[in-house]
A and B are shown apart, each in its own frame.
Chain A
Amino acid sequence: MTEGGQRQRTLLRGTLSLLAAAAVYEAMARSGYFAPALLPTLPTVARTLVASVADGSIIEHAAFTLYRVMFGFALSVAVGLPLGILMARFSRVEHFFLPLVSALMPIPSFALVPLFMLWFGIGNLTTILIVFYAATFPMMFNTWSGVRSVNPLWLRAAGAMGADEHKLFWKVIIPGASPFIITGMRQAFLRSWIAVVGAEMIAASDWGLGWVIFDAKEFLNTDVMLASLVVIGLIGFMFERFIFGSLERMTVLRWGMMRAAKG
């Protein structure tokens, strides 16, 4: 089977399962057992979505959410990646941070939102910091594992060919740890995306997809809530599929360091 044919089949299968789920929902919404205000039909949700895209409001909300996510995520990579590397390379750093990571990682970032609100107020700073908190640990942890899993034979071969510490780091350790680093980024982004919506619900005022959902509850606007959920899901999916997917295809999949998922 050609690669294009394979991809088409995968797409078809994905569409089919989504359609089936949508059909079940629509049947429930139209069954008459539930109040239409609580379970709006899909055409209603679609109309709300189209209208909010047309007037630009949902796009603006999404832009705010994305801004917070990207800021927090970028910070988490900037901090988590070097820390993970330092942990793997120096046992003192490892001994210091490992207990800290173990203690802090299980705390859901959402549980910190009220505290951060008191400390940093309502708005971007708090949401960005929540995202940062959620994303840094998976980034750090995966990088740490990645550097430790670098094949010693590569280090030996590179050393025999005259690589010094600096070259060893950039030319062997970083690319050698890349499957883990990319996985770390993926997980960090996913956590960011989950964290931002929660943080926005209580710690953001007026803007952001999380805030839209929370605000819509006041007026029983379930169609707005569902439309926002669709946007949240779609953006997350696109990042996962296109950004991280192509990052993987360009690097670790091309190098054969990771196998492609079965279509």
Chain B
Amino acid sequence: MRTLTKLDGDSSRARRELHDHIQGSGPLARHTVDSTGQRQAGSSSFHESAEKHVTGKAAYIDDLAAPADALHVALGLSPVAHGTLTQLDLSKVKEAPGVVDVITFHEVPGHTDIGPVFPGDPIFVDQEISYAGQCLFAVAATSLQAARRAVKLATISIDEQPASLDPVAATERKELVRPTHVQTRGDWQQALDQAEQIIEGELFVGGQEHFYLEGQACVVYPSEDEGVIVHTSNQHPSETQKLVAEVLDIPFHAVTVEVRRMGGGFGGKETQASPWPCIAAIIARRTGKTVRLRLPRSEDMRATGKRHPFHNRYRLAIDAEGVIQGGEITVIGDCGYSPDLSDAIVDRAMFHADNAYSLGDAQVVGHRAKTHTASNTAFRGFGGPQGMMIIEAAMDDIARQIGEDPLTVRKRNFYRDGREVTHYGQQVDQRQLLHTLVETLESDSEYWVRRKAVSDFNATSPVIKRGLALTPVKFGISFTAQHLNQAGALLHVYTDGSVMINHGGTEMGQGLHTKICQVVARELGLDLDKVRITATRTDKVPNTSPTAASSGADLNGMAARDAAGKLRERLFDFAAGHYSEGLDREGMRLEDGMLVAGFGESERTIPWGELVQTAYLNRVSLSEKGFYATPLIHYDRSIGQGRPFYYYAFGAAVAEVSVDTLSGEYQVDRVDILHDVGDSLNPAIDIGQVEGGFIQGMGWLTSEELKWNDKGVLVSDGPATYKIPTFGDLPPIFNVALLEGHPNSMASLYRSKAVGEPPFMLGICVWSALRDALSSLTDYVISPHLDTPATPERVMLAANAIRKKAL
């Protein structure tokens, strides 16, 4: 299917329309999605909260009502990146107007280390300060303003030491948060030794601020026993439950965590949403009051970790055709001060250092460097995008070296029969899809016609240069920590026939709750209005995994389906035995709000409401729980081999850009995307994920620049200095389609595929197109070095550098 901005394929007309768009004179496409009709799984139902979003009725954490005597918390953050806390005098803070409680490391009743997987994240600094923005103390007052003003009255003495900010140097010094991991397949040394040609390069890939619109926030209510009830904007309620309990030194069952929705997460609320409920819970138990804690934007940006910046290198043996024979790739993730999730993130970068291409006999090495910045964390793609960047850089570089079009080189290197096993030992199933998908896109987007138009234009345009690039995505789906690949659901049917579903996943805008309702509606043959979902709560579905790794619908949808299926079978058994006319148990089904038995003339129907009412009166349980664990997956870290992914999701995108080589400014003129979601659960939501992921990926590689000063203090700490894409960055021509007719080859939820993360990496085509435009300055002989984000500054400096090289 095509989305709304479908424009004519004719490139000259497209060019004209583009010009008109930009000049502001042309007509605009006017189509709207018609989402009426069927609304079960597979259809484009609206987001379950859409009407609440547009009327302001959807409540986020800071909108929740609290008692009038609720306290507001502000945090004292370290102004220094590295040092020893020698004095923390909070006497003036305690005396400030409105202040009720002040806590530090010493007031924590239980665990003081809240590291999510590995230790290393103190809830407050005891003595050692590891990054600027680290939490030193917390102040609770009668208003947020009073708390924030009181924080400023602290006397803080720090014995400041030089901050380690260079992850490459840190790696050389063996300053790592976790040990280095290596994946090897075949004799990579020999491949290099016997190479016809060797090509090598390096690349800095910048980090990324999540910039969820709703910042980190929670409200904590003391419960009537020793525990707390926590409302939090959070992707991992079960982990927060565990950490709050450990910090308070109480059993897990004394803590209930609830998440109705998040105003964006993107990975930034997987582990890094937990410290705030932990702090608020301590104060709530100490004071007996409800406690609100939300981070103002600049504090949120300084206190929490980001997407890992990476320094990557490659050294590859290629044949005359540019096909990789083997070699080595090294990725260094800048993890910040503690492990957090960095082990799995750098692993995922390594798992994706091949992207869609067979590396042959290769070794991939991943270092986890320790630096004095916030602990970098999960962010859509989870290291995968940073890993992919190095091989996409290599593809462009190979193309320039052998004088072929980058698309030709990419296609030659795709996984194919005979070259089908990754460097970590997994066979790439559905590999033919890569070829099918890219060939379709190549043709639909008129790649080669436009390639010629771009070259012709560049030949006569000295300042403005156009670039074109098509890049693929192959993304592995599953948590690489095997135990996380499980999910639970809880289904209730009430006696009026209305249905309530809960599951372990959280809603952050991705439409998970909508999809889950659609799954239940489909399984029970009901209209979507009959199915409601409420907040995710640790007392409804326990011991859940984070909503992460694109797994939300795959795992929780299967659990919900399991629950609904079990309940359905129970109702069938009941109906078969109960109704005197003897319904045919075989072939019984739920359709259009009816139980249907038999076929043709012998068909009998019982309305859903009547069925459940009767079942209730006959003492049949109308509640069920569901569970799912992903089969088949395994990975042996000791040898770096296995099948870590249940399946792969594929996609590809073409970007055309224009670059002003004098100023470094650029514009994205047109983007075409074809993406694989198997059989879509909800095409409108999936398209939304594809488009949103693409724009976010493009932002990561273009305008979103994190900057720290030389002392390690983040200076891009607000939207005035950190620039995520805005309305004008939407390409004027933006054709987005889902690949149809190719269900998942694995037995996933209705043969769908995960869609949260994979489209993020489609944004790489914009960066590659910028390099293509710059390369035209040398008649496509030299491949420009272009670190990311490719800001106008970097593009201008790259243009200067490549011009000098060409002389």
- Indicate, yes or no, whether A interacts with B: no
Interface residues of B (CB under 8 A from A): none
